Each structure stands twice: as C-alpha cells, then as structure tokens.
Structure 1
Amino acid sequence: MRDAGVMSAATAFALVAAALTTAGTLPQLHRAFRVVEGVSVSAWLQGLFLGAIWAGYGVATGQWVLLLSEGAFALGSAAIVWRLLAPPRALVSLLGCISLVAVLFWLVGPGPCLILASIASLTARFAQIVTTVRTHSAAGVSIATWSVIAASNAAWAANGVQRADTIFTWSAAAGALASLLVIVTCLVIQTPSRLV
C-alpha cells in the first residue's frame, strides 16, 4: 500500500513533463521576434495540431495535466505561426488546424487521434530538419526550445512507462529522439549565435 502523502513516480514525471511542455515554445517565440530564417511554418502548424490533439486526449482520459500543458504548447505554437505568417494567412491556417482536430475527434475519437498526433510529432520535427537543410540556416531556430521539447517528451515517456501505456510511451520517446535530431541538424548546418 502506498503512503497517501507520497507522490507516485508517474505523477512526478507528468508534472515535470507538463512544466517543460508549458514552457517549451517560449524560447522559439522569443527568437522569432528577432529572426525567422530557417524556421519551419509547417513544423509549428503541426505543433499546434499535435498540442490540440494531446490536450483533447487529456480531456477524454481525465488527465488534466495534459490538457493544461499541451493546451499551452498549442497556444505557443499558434503564436509562433502568427509571427511567421501574414495575419490573414495565419488566421486561416490556425482556424483550419483547430477545425481539423475537432472533426477528427468527432469522427474517430481520442485513441486514433493520439496515433495521428504521434505521426505529426515526427513529421513536424522532420519538417524543421528539411527547412533547416533547405535554407542552410538555423539562425531563427531555437536550440533551447528543441532541447526543452526533447526533455519534456522524455519525461512524458517515463510517465507512460510508469502507467504501462505503451502507445503513449512510444509516441513520447519518438518525439524526444526526433527533437534531438533537430538539434543535431541545426548544430551541423550552422551554429546559432545564441542558444536561446
């Protein structure tokens, strides 16, 4: 029997992951106000998509920490997209993304949506890698953001292990590894003048 005053490992990992996820977009948003060269609009639209799905999954499964942290990540991703695109185009893109998430939840439910979020997690990272390689610049890419996202995903994976949730664990672990690939790509292409 567990002592009522002791926090479970799953809860501890969830709280660490939530704190990191909530703050994850802030360094990129800050950097985007100075320079956007090499930043992938597609990656951040997919960030909004996957954040909204994870937040919805949190509601569907009663994991409110997911709703709050992933909702914050989705809002941060939306702010980055707003910075990268002209306002009319940004508005259409953001509304389209949120509408797609709502329709998908209505059509297929939270479980299949989680698999879609896992795919978007990987394709978002690869979109950032492709943009960095294509533009041969990492000037606008925040290494700090991708580091925080990698750490957050690792903590979510540990939470999934503690809860014996295989899909959740593999999804988060894949996101962590793909985030590390973004960092390596940015460092190989061009060492940013600042890591923030």
Structure 2
Amino acid sequence: MKKGAHPQLQWISYVTQSGRLMHVMTTDQNTPVEGNSIPEVVQHNVTAGSSLSSSSSPWLKRIMNKPPDTRAPGCWKKPWICKQGDDPPRRRCCRNHCVDVTSDVNNCGLCGIRCPFTWQCCRGLCINTNRSRFNCGKCGNRCPYGVLCIYGMCGYAQPLPPRPFPFPKPRSCPPSTFPPKPPRSQPKQPPHSPHPPH
C-alpha cells in the first residue's frame, strides 16, 4: 500500500431505537490502516417526507413513510370533540387523542384496554379472530353452521360436511284384505266353434 492511500471503506446502515437512520463508515478489517483509524459517523434524521434508498428494508419504508396521525390532539380539556354525534359514542379521548374504541386494539371498549397479540377489537370486545366462528379472520365474518374457524379461515383442513341422511322412499302398501270382498264374476264368453268360419 502506498503512503497516503486511503483504505477500503464500507458503509453500514442501521435504525436506532429512536427511529433515526444511522450510516457508519468503517474500514476493511484486513487492510492495514495508517494514521487515524477512527471511523467517520454520518447521521441522518429521516422524516416521513424524505425518500429512502432502494436498499432499505420494506419494514423501514413502511414505518418511516406512514401517513401522519389524523386523530385530533388535545381532547383532555374538551372530550366532547370526540363524540361526533354517535350514541353511544364510538370515539373517546384516550391519552389526549380521539380514538375509536370499537376497533382500536390498544383501546378496545375503554381507554387502555389492549387486546392480546393477533386478536382484534370487534365492536369494543377483544376477539381471537383465528378461532371465533362469528368473527373468523376479520370482524363480522361468520362461518356457516357446523363449520369451525381455524387459523382465521372457515372450515380450514376439515372434510366436507356429511350429506344429509337420505330418507327412505315411502313404501306402497298392499291392498287391504279386510273385510274380505267377494270374488268378481267374470262375464261368460260364447263357446268357440271347432272349425273356424270361412
């Protein structure tokens, strides 16, 4: 390596707990470094308006580019702004934000009632939509009678329901023999001649 030549540099990107995207420039471990070997750190504060590079993860793009919160802030001193004419009100003031307590998993039914992981808030109740026959896969999706909800799907990996048992055909009853009827008389036929007429 020539004197004064720069070692190979490598960029490492990661997201901190505060949501900031960090870029760190490091040197290759196998390259001898002359002079100052402290890596240079570049920090970017990525906001919702900025675009992320194509090498970023889909999760990072979704988290950083999500739309701004449209809930009205500042409802502690004026909770009536959350009611919007519903009776009973669907929205409540939770942690200084208007929240729909009929469908919010973090405030289900009342403020602060959080549904367990993978459960959904359906009409203000925490429901396991993976097993509920009345809310299978999503709120309000009802399975047919006799079909179970498994993994959020009605009838998943179940055999087809049995066909209804065929009813026997009605038998024709033999004619009744009581009371006995007299035998029918047959009409008399003229006697046949031994020779056919010509």
Q: Whose relative contact order is higher, 1 or 2, with alpha carbons under 8 Å and at least 6 apart?
A: 1
Q: Which has the larger radius of gyration?
A: 2
Common fold by TM > 0.5? no
Q: TM-score, normalised by structure 2?
A: 0.21
Larger % of strand: which? 2
Larger % of helix: which? 1
Q: TM-score, normalised by structure 1?
A: 0.21
